[in-house]
């Protein structure tokens, strides 16, 4: 780095205009990542401005972290170096929306709720029921790779992002994919951008496939004493003819988790495990779903079965919203909470459910029926010892990563201090060497979110 | 070809594992496209270790390697454009594991697409991608091309159903990408590899998702006296929020060609038919079938027929899936295009194809995935007539150029291969292509794997491309 703080700010002001460049410490504090502040903030208004900023940064060896609404900057490791926060929220337009073609092109800074209202007019939606949905941007949601309970039938961004535009670390604007729902032209580079935390490129445009909004939905909850019955019901649903749009198992124990249960509209008391399933379709279909599901719920593990409840109808774009928002609620409630994402197979869920019950601190799980578990650990109280205990348990769980039934564990959110002790990504996988080589192709000077991703990428 | 290399390959694979006589190689110089090029030899690995051995030998001798399934591809993806060794996966066709509980199967690349669905039928499952060639094409080939099929409208293409790959790099390194579990941490290299058309690595094992069979399926045949009525029906089905499992269209000429061959019961005097399938719970299939029939009626369908049983349904699908075979009976050769357009641009595009047909005096049939705007115009020609062959290629290019003008793409499911590499600059900038080249070089730095595919080798796209003379008639895919 040969340019000082004032040099960075003045160059940013030249590129994006004075009003869109910030270096006032009070304003910059809002862009902290794990306690680390940038030197300057730039709010580009176009892909061309992004190109200019990245070229300047590459020349001067300045690190850039692209940001949206800054709701998920806690995911990943802190940046090794952090000079420029690239605030993408000025690029918030819908570039094209063709309801008849089920396609939508947006700039990355557009809030998801703005997309939702534009699509709702045509009775369509994006199946992204993700945390912080009232603020989160499309770009941040894609770059952080968060998933939605609706993946049960709609898949993840990997399945419905049709193409992207982005600026690589050498300041080159490029694209891959396209704007049509079916396309195999060229390499699917955009798939790698999903969940890459901005380490491969700054996303400047995203093309989505949109989906028709179901006519009606219904959410049903079955409650069991203990985890076995709940996991058995998940298995039974998977083998049945039912095609629910969400299947989630929730449970928690200890501390103040009961309050979080109320936020998710379930009870966590007395070893209760809830299976929350939502269905979509017209009323006649929902009646059949409800009937079949009730038979399945009552048919599994009679001794453990407790109750059936039905929630009020909610539009599909909000299905299981109260569950999807749990990470946000947890972090607001307990900033020291640690939230893991565990990738495993559906049949591993029963083993994971047994495993979490021996955790030595208060815990909460949300298990998606397809095998993804969000495990939250909470400090038992406010003492220093309690934080140490939490850290021990986090280390223990990361050490279980890759060992049956735990699957691959990543610590998504935790207090920043923990990250000096723990690598939240766990050990890199066997194809890591290819990821490293790809990183150097996309970002030869290593200026894009350096150190934030797996294995120091 | 270096006799030392041939000797080493035979030592590795045995005398029955290598073909190198000119008469044997003839069979491997083409696929389902109109492209032709002869390999130096064809090898048949039986296991991953064989593939590693082949790759090491080829790298040492600096000879190109071209992966191949059963050669049903439609863009020249499995042809040795610059010579070299074709690695046929025809003998690596074991289903290694079926995990019904987790809806996964682990397969070798040579497993035939339909064979996997057949193997899991008793478990109430199937493999969703269903290209028309599914009774012959391999899953390795599907992964390479990111293949689609009629039912990808609702269920997605190959990439949506592949979670992990075992690959061999040109260096001989064996690497596992992804995992049977969803969302493995790290960059989505599985997603990058699927559809890379054999230019990144040779795939030796694939873990796929299996899909649960629906409780009920309804297949409707709607008959129209005007193509526009049929395309407007498709638009309104989408507007009503119905996503059929499949929505296929055949034009009048294709219907007559197919009917004469398959006897699927298609009316001979109509302008277009739609073959629409809805599925799910019994109630869903029934309600959607009713809605679809109503929409067809509103747009002047003169008849809507619902298949009464599995046999009738199979017959209708046989008519659709054999459309290419039917075309093969009517002319010495045919060229199938694969353009994609936003579905609302269907009427304009079909009119343009009809103009192009008249301009070159070429018969062009239309059979396509109407639901997702993926066109398959079939251009009939006689390969002995050089002028006609050139016109055919020009007509194909004009159709593709129109698709791009409409905001579409040059290939929806057949791949770029050696057929469309020269068209890539119409969609992608020099910067886009340079990045793709650098990404390829991470995997395949010396260009040994499937050279001359996907990425254009020369700059500029205006030049006249002279193809090698097709020596054989392409088989029906």
DSSP label of B224: E
Tell me the per-residue pLDDT of B371-397, one tens digit each, with 9 for 90 and over.
Answer: 999 999 999 999 889 999 999 999 999
Same domain for A282 and A244: yes
Which stretches does DSSP call E strand in B294-443? 303-306, 333-336, 364-369, 377-381
With CB atoms and an 8 Å threshold, state whether A347 touches B179: no
- The answer to the question of residue A199 being in a domain is yes
3-state secondary structure of B467: coil
**Nearest-Cα residue of chain B relative to residue A195:** B187
Q: Which residues of A touch B183 (CB under 8 A)?
A: 145, 147, 156, 195, 341, 343, 372
Q: Show the tokens assigned to A242.
A: 């039912």
Radius of gyration for chain A, computed over Cα atoms and rounded to the nearest angstrom: 22
Tell me the per-residue pLDDT of B186-215, one tens digit each, with 9 for 90 and over.
Answer: 999 999 999 999 999 999 999 999 999 999
- The answer to the question of residue A342 being in a domain is yes
Same domain for A282 and A399: yes
Domain closes at, from A187, A212, A237? A212
Number of domains composing chain A? 3
* Least Cα separation, residue A270 to chain B (angstroms): 30
With CB atoms and an 8 Å threshold, state whether A184 touches B188: no
Same domain for A402 and A269: yes
Specify which residues A42 forms β-bridges with: A21, A86
Query: What is the biggest distance separating any 2 CA atoms in chain A, rounded to whole angstroms?
Result: 70
B280 at interface of A, judged by CB pairs closer than 8 A? yes
Q: Which of A212, A241, A425 sits opposite B241 (nearest CB)?
A: A212
Same domain for A396 and A314: yes
Please give the Cα distance from B372 to B157 (Å, whole number): 12
Same domain for A107 and A83: no
Helix (H) or strand (E) holding B58: helix B48-61
With CB atoms and an 8 Å threshold, state whether B195 touches A159: no
pTM assigned to the model: 0.96
Radius of gyration for chain B, computed over Cα atoms and rounded to the nearest angstrom: 22
Q: Show the tokens assigned to B225.
A: 């006296």
Q: B382-415: b or e for each residue (b if 16 or more CB lie within 10 Å)?
A: ebeeeebbbbbbebbbbbbebbbebbbbbbbbbb
Count of pairs with CB atoms under 8 A, one residue in A, one in B: 235
3-state secondary structure of B404: helix
Residue with tokens 């009809």: B354
B432 at interface of A, judged by CB pairs closer than 8 A? yes
- The answer to the question of residue A433 being in a domain is no
Q: Which residues of B touch A430 (CB under 8 A)?
A: 175-176
Same domain for A388 and A269: yes
- The answer to the question of residue A245 being in a domain is yes
ipTM for the complex shown: 0.97
Q: What CATH number is given to the structural domain containing A314? A: 3.40.462.10
Cα distances (angstroms) measured from residue A260 to each of A219, A341, A412, B361: 19, 18, 19, 71
Please give the Cα distance from B123 to B117 (Å, whole number): 10
Q: Show the tokens assigned to B389.
A: 């062959």
Q: Which residues of A touch B99 (CB under 8 A)?
A: 345
Give A70's Cβ-side CA count (13 Å radius): 15
Please give the Cα distance from B40 to B423 (Å, whole number): 28
Query: What is the biggest distance separating any 2 CA atoms in chain B, rounded to whole angstroms?
Result: 70
pLDDT value, residue B330: 86
Please give the Cα distance from A64 to A57 (Å, whole number): 7
With CB atoms and an 8 Å threshold, state whether A145 touches B238: no
> Mean pLDDT score of chain B, rounded to an integer?
93
Note which residues in 234-273 of chain A have CB less than 8 A from chain B: 235, 238-239, 241-243
Q: Which residues of A touch B411 (CB under 8 A)?
A: 183-185
Question: Which residues are CB-neighbours of B181 under 8 A, at least 6 positions away?
Answer: A343, A344, A345, A348, A371, A407, A408, B163
Q: Is B244 left (phi over 0), alpha (psi -120 to 50) or beta?
A: beta
Q: Which of A101, A371, A454 sits opposite B344 (nearest CB)?
A: A101
Q: What CATH number is given to the structural domain containing A63? A: 3.30.43.10
Same domain for A414 and A292: yes
A187 at interface of B, judged by CB pairs closer than 8 A? yes
Tell me the per-residue pLDDT of B134-185, one tens digit each, with 9 for 90 and over.
Answer: 999 999 999 999 999 999 899 999 999 999 999 999 999 999 999 999 999 9
pLDDT value, residue B463: 39
Same domain for A68 and A117: no
Measured N-to-C along each axis, helices A5-16 and A47-60 cross at an angle, to the nearest 10 degrees, of 160
pLDDT value, residue A435: 98
pLDDT value, residue A264: 87
pLDDT category of residue B468 using cuts at 50, 70 and 90: very low
Sites in chain A below the pLDDT cut of 70? 1-2, 312-313
Q: Which residues of B touch A159 (CB under 8 A)?
A: 156, 160
- Going by their DSSP bridges, the two strands A211-212 and B272-280 should be labelled as unpaired
* Least Cα separation, residue B92 to chain A (angstroms): 23
Please give the Cα distance from A330 to A187 (Å, whole number): 39
Domain assignment of residue A71, given as a range: 5-89+444-456
With CB atoms and an 8 Å threshold, state whether B215 touches A241: yes
How far the first Cα of chain B sits from its last, in Å, is 31
pLDDT value, residue B464: 37
Please give the Cα distance from B246 to A121 (Å, whole number): 26
Same domain for A353 and A229: yes
Is pLDDT above 80 for B476? no
CA angle centred on B78, ends B76 and B84, rounded to 5°:
115
Helix (H) or strand (E) holding A12: helix A5-16
pLDDT category of residue B321 using cuts at 50, 70 and 90: confident
Sorted by where each starts, the structural domains of chain B and their CATH numbers stand as 216-325 (3.30.70.2190), 331-415 (3.30.70.2740)
A179 at interface of B, judged by CB pairs closer than 8 A? yes
- The answer to the question of residue A105 being in a domain is yes
B215 at interface of A, judged by CB pairs closer than 8 A? yes
- Going by their DSSP bridges, the two strands A84-87 and A64-67 should be labelled as parallel
pLDDT value, residue A306: 85
Same domain for A99 and A117: yes
pLDDT value, residue A256: 86
A366 in Cβ contact with A322 (< 8 Å): no
- Going by their DSSP bridges, the two strands A40-42 and A84-87 should be labelled as parallel
Please give the Cα distance from B179 to A343 (Å, whole number): 9
Q: B294-333: b or e for each residue (b if 16 or more CB lie within 10 Å)?
A: ebbeebebeebbbbeeeebbebbbebbbbbbbbbbebbeb
DSSP label of A413: E
- The answer to the question of residue A59 being in a domain is yes
pLDDT value, residue B458: 60
With CB atoms and an 8 Å threshold, state whether A188 touches B280: no
Which stretches does DSSP call E strand in A198-324? 202-209, 211-212, 216-225, 246-253, 272-281, 305-311
Please give the Cα distance from A266 to A1 (Å, whole number): 53
Which stretches of B62-171 are DSSP H helices? 113-120, 139-145, 152-155
Tell me the per-residue pLDDT of B295-313, one tens digit each, with 9 for 90 and over.
Answer: 999 999 999 999 999 999 9
Please give the Cα distance from A154 to A128 (Å, whole number): 9
Same domain for A282 and A249: yes
B123 at interface of A, judged by CB pairs closer than 8 A? no
Edge-to-edge strands, sheet with A216-225: A305-311, A216-225, A272-281, A246-253, A363-368, A372-377, A338-343, A408-413
- The answer to the question of residue A253 being in a domain is yes
Same domain for A249 and A164: no
Cα distances (angstroms) measured from residue A437 to each of A55, B16, B56, B146, B193: 21, 39, 21, 24, 15
Q: What CATH number is given to the structural domain containing A95? A: 3.30.465.10
Which backbone phi and psi does B387 adopt, to 5 degrees?
-60, -45
């Amino acid at each position: 780095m040969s340019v000082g703080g004032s040099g960075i700010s003045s160059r940013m002001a030249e590129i994006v205009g004075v009003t869109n460049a910030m270096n006032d410490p009070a304003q910059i504090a809002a862009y902290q990542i794990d306690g680390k502040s940038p030197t300057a903030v730039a709010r580009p208004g176009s892909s061309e401005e992004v190109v200019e900023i990245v070229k300047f940064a590459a020349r001067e060896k300045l690190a850039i972290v692209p940001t949206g609404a800054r709701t998920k900057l806690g995911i990943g490791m802190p940046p090794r170096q952090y000079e420029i926060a690239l605030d993408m929220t000025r690029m918030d337009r819908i570039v094209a929306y063709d309801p008849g073609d089920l396609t939508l092109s947006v700039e990355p800074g557009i809030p998801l709720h703005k997309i939702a209202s534009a699509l709702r007019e045509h009775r369509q939606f994006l199946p992204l029921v993700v945390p912080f949905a009232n603020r989160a941007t499309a770009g941040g949601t894609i770059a952080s790779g968060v998933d939605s309970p609706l993946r049960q039938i709609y898949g993840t961004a990997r399945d419905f992002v049709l193409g992207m535009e982005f600026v690589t670390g050498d300041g080159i604007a490029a694209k891959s994919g396209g704007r049509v729902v079916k396309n195999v032209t060229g390499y699917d580079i955009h798939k790698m951008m999903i969940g890459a935390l901005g380490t491969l490129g700054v996303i400047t445009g995203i093309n989505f496939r949109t989906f028709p909004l179901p006519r009606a939905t219904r959410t049903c909850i079955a409650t069991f004493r203990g985890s076995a019955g709940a996991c058995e019901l998940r298995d039974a649903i998977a083998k049945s003819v039912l095609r629910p749009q969400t299947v989630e198992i929730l449970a928690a124990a200890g501390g103040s988790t009961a309050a979080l249960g109320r936020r998710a509209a379930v009870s966590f008391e007395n070893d209760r495990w809830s299976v929350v399933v939502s269905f979509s379709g017209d009323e006649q279909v929902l009646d059949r779903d409800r009937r079949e599901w009730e038979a399945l719920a009552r048919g599994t593990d009679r001794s453990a079965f407790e109750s059936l409840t039905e929630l009020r109808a909610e539009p599909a774009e909000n299905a299981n919203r109260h569950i999807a928002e749990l990470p946000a609620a947890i972090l607001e409630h307990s900033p020291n909470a640690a939230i893991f994402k565990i990738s495993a197979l559906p049949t591993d869920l029963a083993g994971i459910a047994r495993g979490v019950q021996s955790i030595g601190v208060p815990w909460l799980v949300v298990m998606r029926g397809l095998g993804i578990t969000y495990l939250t650990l909470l400090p038992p109280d406010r003492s220093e010892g309690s934080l140490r205990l939490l850290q021990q348990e986090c280390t223990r769980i990361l050490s279980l990563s890759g060992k049956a039934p735990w699957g691959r564990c990543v610590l998504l959110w935790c207090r920043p201090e923990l990250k000096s002790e723990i690598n939240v990504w766990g050990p890199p996988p066997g194809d890591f060497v290819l990821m490293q080589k790809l990183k150097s192709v996309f970002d030869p000077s290593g200026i894009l979110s350096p150190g934030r991703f797996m294995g120091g990428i | 070809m270096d006799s030392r290399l041939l000797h080493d390959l035979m030592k590795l694979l045995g005398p029955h594992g290598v073909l190198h006589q000119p008469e044997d190689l003839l069979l491997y110089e083409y696929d389902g496209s109109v492209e032709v090029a002869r390999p130096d030899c064809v090898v048949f690995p039986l296991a991953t270790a064989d593939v590693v051995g082949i790759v090491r030998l080829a790298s040492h001798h600096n000879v190109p390697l071209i992966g191949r399934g059963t050669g049903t591809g439609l863009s020249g993806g499995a042809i040795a454009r610059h010579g070299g060794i074709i690695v046929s996966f025809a003998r690596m066709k074991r289903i290694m594991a079926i995990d019904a509980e987790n809806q996964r199967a682990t397969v070798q690349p040579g497993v035939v697409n339909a064979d996997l669905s057949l193997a899991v039928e008793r478990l109430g499952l199937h493999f969703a991608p269903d290209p028309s060639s599914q009774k012959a094409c391999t899953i390795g080939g599907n992964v390479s091309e990111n293949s689609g099929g009629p039912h990808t409208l609702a269920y997605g293409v190959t990439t949506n159903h592949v979670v992990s790959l075992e690959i061999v790099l040109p260096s001989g390194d064996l690497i596992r990408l992804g995992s049977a579990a969803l969302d493995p941490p790290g960059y989505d290299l599985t997603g990058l590899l699927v559809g890379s058309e054999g230019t990144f690595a040779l795939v030796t094992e694939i873990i796929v998702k299996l899909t649960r069979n629906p409780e009920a399926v309804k297949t409707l045949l709607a008959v129209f006296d005007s193509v526009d009525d049929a395309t407007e029906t498709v638009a309104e089905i989408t507007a009503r929020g119905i996503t059929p499992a499949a929505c296929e269209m055949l034009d009048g000429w294709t219907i007559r060609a197919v009917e004469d061959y398959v006897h699927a019961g298609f009316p001979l005097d109509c302008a277009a038919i739609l073959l629409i399938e809805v599925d799910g719970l019994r109630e869903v299939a029934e309600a959607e079938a009713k809605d679809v029939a109503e929409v067809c009626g509103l747009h002047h369908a003169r008849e809507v027929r619902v298949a009464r049983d599995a046999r009738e349904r199979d017959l209708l699908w046989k008519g659709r899936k054999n459309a290419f075979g039917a075309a093969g009976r009517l002319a010495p050769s045919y060229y199938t295009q694969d353009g994609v357009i936003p579905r609302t641009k269907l009427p304009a595009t079909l009119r343009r194809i009809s103009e192009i047909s008249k301009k070159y005096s070429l018969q062009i049939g239309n059979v396509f995935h109407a639901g997702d705007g993926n066109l398959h115009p079939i251009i009939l020609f006689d390969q002995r007539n050089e002028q006609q062959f050139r016109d055919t290629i020009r007509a194909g290019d004009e159709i593709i150029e129109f698709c791009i003008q409409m905001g579409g793409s040059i290939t929806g499911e057949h791949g770029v291969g050696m057929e469309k590499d020269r068209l890539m600059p119409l969609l992608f900038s020099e910067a886009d292509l340079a990045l793709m080249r650098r990404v390829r070089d991470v995997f395949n730095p010396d260009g040994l794997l499937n050279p001359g595919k996907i990425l254009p080798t020369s700059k500029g796209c205006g030049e006249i491309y002279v193809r090698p003379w097709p020596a054989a008639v392409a088989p029906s895919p």
